[in-house]
Amino acid sequence: MRKMCAILLLGLALVLPAPSFAPSASKPRAQVQALKVTILSTMLADQGIGEWGFAALVEADGRRILFDTGARPRTVLENASELKIDLSGITEVILSHNHDDHTGGLLTLRQELMKKNPSALSRVHVGDGIFLSRPRQDKGEGNPMVAIRRAYEGTGGTFIVHAKPAEIAPGVWLTGPVPRVHPERNWSDQGQLKLANGDVVEDTIPDDMSLVFDTAQGVVLLSGCGHAGVVNTVDYARKFLNGAPLHAALGGFHLFPADDKALAWTSEQLRKAGIAYLIGAHCTGVEAVYRIREQAKLDRRRCIVGAVGASFTLGKGIDPLDVAR
């Protein structure tokens, strides 16, 4: 009986619901003082390998987090090595959503880095719904996280599932799944999603979530694809952070298919939110970045196409490296 209880407890520990928090208006919020975000996977490469994928290293007040893991198994490993970045001391990983261009490197990274540090990448934060089945027309499984989950847990790793905003470190917030208030529809046709009750519906990528930093300058947003919509995500983050302005938006925002009207509206909403810096990487689109730069009244120092090795540092701004300068 004791053995059975121990097995049950171990199984429950592998996928943990995350505690949720809400900032209190009665006491000061914790804020991030030092922040650097460095891109490790995207299409444009100043150093290393470019790919259709995304990953970034976060360094916030001495805490290091890996946000997404790229598409191909070894891209992030090799790019980090070329950039002389050691990822083996990182415990926490964020997966922004289930797509393989953000999750493809997780297993290889975990297996390689745990040779040096058994705790490396041992905790993965995910949005509620990331493990739901995505049935394909050929009857196969379209969600890579179904297989990745089993293999990753086999290494001793743990998933923490977020259904609501959660502060995972002082001033560092996960949005959890984002309410779709504005009809941005920032996703391509993704097929079908099988809900827990068995119903099959359109896959709108409900597990999409972003990482948000509460700073004295305002909100810094890090997004994988922003399938929930960049404006929806910004509005949601500003709401639970008591209306702080948007200081910077970094990462992928799935605006490459957006038409002129959608880009003009998005740019205006970002301008109204106070945006000062933008790095548009991965699925943002080159033209979309230039439209936002013009229409949100930014310039080439403050709004760039993201490249492997490019970075944003709080208080200093963007280092685009040579290829995107």
5 domain-assigned:
no
pLDDT, residue 138, reads 87
Please enumerate in sequence order all residues whose Cβ is within 8 A of that of 311, keeping only pairs 6 or more positions apart, or say none: 36, 37, 38, 39, 318, 319
Checking DSSP bridges between strand 35-41 and strand 44-45, what pairing results, if any?
unpaired
Here the CATH number for the domain that contains residue 262 is 3.60.15.10
Relative orientation angle of helices 106-113 and 75-82, to the nearest 10 degrees: 60
Per-residue pLDDT of the chain (325 residues; tens, 9 = 90+): 443 343 333 343 345 555 444 555 556 789 999 999 999 999 999 889 999 999 999 999 999 999 999 999 999 999 999 999 999 999 999 999 999 999 999 999 999 999 999 999 999 999 999 999 999 988 899 999 999 999 999 999 999 999 999 999 999 999 999 999 999 988 887 689 999 999 999 999 999 999 999 999 999 999 999 999 999 999 999 999 999 999 999 999 999 999 999 999 999 999 999 999 999 999 999 999 999 999 999 999 999 999 999 999 999 999 999 998 8
pLDDT at position 282 is 98
For residue 235, what are the domain limits? Answer: 30-324
Q: Please count the structural domains in the chain.
A: 1
Question: What is residue 15's predicted lDDT score, i.e. its pLDDT?
Answer: 54
Phi, psi of 287, deg, nearest 5: -60, -40
CA dist 87 and 262 (Å) reads 38
Find where tokens 């289930």 sit: 98
Q: Is 308 within a domain?
A: yes
**Pick from 131, 138, 137: which is nearest to 207 by CA?**
131
Whether 1 maps to a domain, the answer reads: no
* 177 domain residue, yes or no: yes
* Residue 40, pLDDT score: 98
In a domain, 255, yes or no: yes
Q: Interior CA angle at 285 toward 279 and 286, to 5°?
A: 75
Beta-bridge partners for 319: 311
DSSP letter at 241 equals T
pTM of the model: 0.92
| Cβ–Cβ < 8 Å for 76, 55 | yes
In a domain, 16, yes or no: no
CA distances, 62 to each of 68, 138, 282 (Å) = 19, 47, 27
| Distance in angstroms (rounded) separating the CA atoms of residues 189 and 269 | 25
Short-list 53, 7, 271, CA closest to 249: 271
Residue 27: its pLDDT value, please?
63
In a domain, residue 9? The reply is no
Per-residue pLDDT, 127 = 98
pLDDT of residue 106: 98
pLDDT for 139: 84
Provide the pLDDT for residue 137: 86
Distance CA 114, CA 124 (A): 14
